[in-house]
Amino acid sequence: MTKIKTHDLDLYYGNFLALKKVAIQIPDRNITAMIGPSGCGKSTLLRCINRMNDLIESVRIEGQVVIDNENILDPKTDLIALRRKVGMVFQRPNVFDLSILENLRFGLRIHKRMGTRSEVMELIELGLGHVGLWNDLKDRLKANARSLTLEQQQRLCIARVLILKPDIILLDEPCSALDPIATLKIEELLRVLRKDYTLVIVTHNMQQAARVSDYTGFMYLGELIEFGETNQIFTNPAVKMTENYISGQFG
Amino acid sequence: MTRESFIGHMKGLEKDIVGMSQMVVDATRRSVEALKTRNPDDAKKIIAADAKINTRRWEIEEKCVNLIARQQPVASDLREIISVLSIITELERMGDYAEGIAKIVLMIGDEPLVKPLVDIPRMCDKAIDMLKRSIEAFVRRDAATATAICAEDDEVDALYEQVQRELLCIMIENPKTISRATPLIWAAHNLERIADRVTNICERIVFLAGGTMRGLKISTY
């Protein structure tokens, strides 16, 4: 079942056309990876899904981004609700200079999801449990989040997204600051999360896309060149340019 | 643990090999049973079932190709996938030999056998036993057992020679038996080939366990 659909999506940064008539259908409860050389528009496309591009003044968007049959580019869209439903994890773990507990409570507070203390603690336990941190951190929730390893910080960021109960998680190069072992651990976590969430990951690391995703989209100069099951893209791509890119002939 | 899903896929390949080898064991046993009873219905079922073995081989091969393309396996992971690719080819060919015996059953029809089958069922039992133990050795990555199984191929070769000799004598004595005796030699040949292919599997197990690529045939035949 399709969770996210774009239709004739054009995005301009000033006069520069960064996305050209992008039409993609991202399936529910799967991992979709977007690959392509730097500047191809993959992060721009990702940021359309939770309207993060709205924060850039010169941006103009045409077309549609439909999530659950609703065009989220509609000016009436409730952006707070959208960003609760569509969580995002960034390249570097962006933990706040606060305790682990406060990092997690922060999201709940700004989204007005604070319940009783025990309800909040239950959510926090679930969130940290889901990312495999509860056992390690339950006795030091008051420690500063920055004291954690980078991998733990990234897990914490994912937990912070999860406790808001999103449907979709966008990941923009989530492992680029991590070492190979930490990267593999995060990838394993993503494989677990895919059972309950729709994940879209942007990565410059083709091997990561191949390892972790169910579907892959290849973008070049703002266009979606090919989209398909990851098995097919990495064993028998339909478009020659995809093959040239994944086999390292350019990019 | 890292790469749990990859490890899951690799375990899956192991199960696939065990399952496919069981299909080959069944086909081989039933083909010789059908030869003993000259049951054309059973023979037709074995011929039809070979298509499933062939399909299984392509399915497993596709999994291997996807794993290579997506997981960039190295070291023992790579050796395992390469070994699996090789083993499924051997198993698929063994399935063809069993199918060949089933075709021989249809060829013979209800003509009486030139002699009671004694050594052919023994060849069958031995080849199946070697195959089963080789797959167990594959699961355990047991190079020593794999090497020992290779040496047992001589027993199957000796039985094959015995069958050939006996049937040749019968044909020399009474040339009218040639049309009924020759297919039995072919059946025995198929079983001999099955055992030979077990030795190829054993070579792959040695490669898998220790990374050494070498032939293990220490045959006196």
Decide which of B147 and B4 is more confident.
B147
Hey, is the C-beta of A185 within 8 angstroms of any chain B C-beta? Answer: yes
Q: Is B85 on the interface with A (CB under 8 A)?
A: no
Q: What percent of chain B has pLDDT over 90?
A: 88
Per-residue pLDDT tens over the stretch B10-35: 999 999 999 999 999 999 999 999 99
Full residue range of the structural domain in which residue B145 is found: 4-210
Confidence (pTM): 0.84
DSSP 8-state symbol, A144: B
B65 to chain A, any CB pair closer than 8 A? The answer is: yes
Minimum distance, in Å, between the CA of residue A233 and any CA atom of chain B: 10
* Whether A200 contacts A29, CB under 8 Å: no
The residue whose two tokens read 């192991």 is B14
| The residue type at A45 | L
Residue B136 covered by a domain = yes
pLDDT digits (tens, 9 = 90+) for A92-142: 899 999 999 999 998 888 877 777 888 889 999 999 998 989 999 999 999
Question: Does residue A142 belong to any structural domain of this protein?
Answer: yes
| Nearest-Cα residue of chain B relative to residue A180 | B2
> What are the backbone dihedrals phi and psi of residue B213, each rounded to the nearest 5 degrees, phi first?
-100, 110
Task: Residue A25: give the domain boundaries.
Answer: 2-246
Q: Judge whether B73 lies within some domain.
A: yes
Residue of B nearest to A232 (CA): B66
**Residue A251 covered by a domain:** no
Q: Which of B2, B5, B69 sits opposite A210 (nearest CB)?
A: B69
Residue at A172 is within a domain: yes
In a domain, B221, yes or no: no
Does residue B142 form part of some domain? yes
What's the pLDDT score for residue A196? 95
Say yes or no for a CB contact (<8 Å) between A210 and B3. Answer: no
Per the DSSP assignment, residues forming a β-bridge with A171 are: A89, A201
Rounded CA separation B10/A131 (Å): 24
8 A C-beta contact, residue B120 and residue B191: yes
Minimal Cα distance from B2: which residue of A? Answer: A185
Q: Is A231 on the interface with B (CB under 8 A)?
A: yes
Kindly state whether residue B42 falls inside one of the protein's structural domains.
yes
Query: Strand A70-71 to strand A86-89: parallel, antiparallel, or no bridges (unpaired)?
Result: unpaired
**Mean pLDDT of all residues belonging to chain A:** 93
Q: Establish if A71 belongs to a structural domain.
A: yes
Indicate which of A155, A178, A211, A246 best probes the interface with B, i.e. most B CBs within 10 Å of its own CB: A211
Question: In terms of CA atoms, which chain B residue is nearest residue A192?
Answer: B5
Q: How many domains does chain B have?
A: 1
- Could you tell me if A211 lies within 8 Å of chain B, comparing CB atoms? yes
Does the pLDDT at position B64 exceed 90? yes
| B63 touching A (Cβ < 8 Å) | no
Instruction: Tell me the nearest-neighbour CA distance from B92 into chain A, angstroms.
Output: 23
How far is it, in rounded angstroms, from Cα B145 to Cα A200?
48
Inside any domain, residue B215: no
Which amino acid type is present at position A105? R
Q: What share of chain B has pLDDT > 70, as a percent?
A: 97
Residue B113 or A110, more confident: B113
pLDDT at residue A63, as a whole number: 97
What's chain B's average pLDDT? 94
Q: Which of A204-213, A223-232, B77-86, B209-218 has the lowest mean pLDDT?
A: B209-218
Residue B66 sits at the chain A interface (C-beta within 8 Å): yes
In chain A, residues with a C-beta closer than 8 Å to the C-beta of B4 are 188, 191
For B124-128, the CB contacts below 8 A with 24+ separation are: B124/B28, B124/B29, B124/B32, B124/B191, B126/B152, B126/B155, B126/B156, B126/B159, B126/B195, B127/B28, B127/B156, B127/B191, B127/B194, B127/B195, B127/B198, B128/B25, B128/B28, B128/B29
Give which of B5, B9, B70, B71 to mutate to test A binding, by max A Cβ within 10 Å.
B70
Across the interface, whether the CB atoms of A211 and B6 are under 8 A apart is answered yes
Read off the CATH number of the domain in which B105 is found: 1.20.58.220
Per the domain annotation, does B220 fall within a domain? no
Residue B217 lies in a domain: no
Mean pLDDT of A171-184: 89
> Residue B216: pLDDT band by 50, 70, 90 thresholds?
confident
Q: Assign B1 a pLDDT band (cuts: 50, 70, 90).
A: very low
Q: Is the pLDDT of residue B2 over 70?
A: no
Q: Please check the confidence at residue A177 and state whether its pLDDT lies above 90.
A: no
- The confidence score (pLDDT) of residue A44 equals 96
Residue B2, chain A, CB below 8 Å: the answer is yes
Q: Give the residue-averaged pLDDT of B109-126.
A: 94
- The confidence score (pLDDT) of residue B219 equals 62
Tokens encoding B169: 């004598």
Q: Which of B201, B205, B204, B199 is nearest to B218 (CA)?
A: B199
Q: Is the pLDDT of residue B90 over 50?
A: yes
Q: Name the residue among A184, A207, A230 with its Cβ closest to that of B2.
A: A184
Total domains in chain A come to 1
Quickly list DSSP for B167-181: HHHHHHH-GGGHHHH
Is the separation of the CB atoms in A34 and A42 below 8 Å? yes
pLDDT of A249 reads 83
Distance from CA of A10 to the nearest CA of B (A): 31
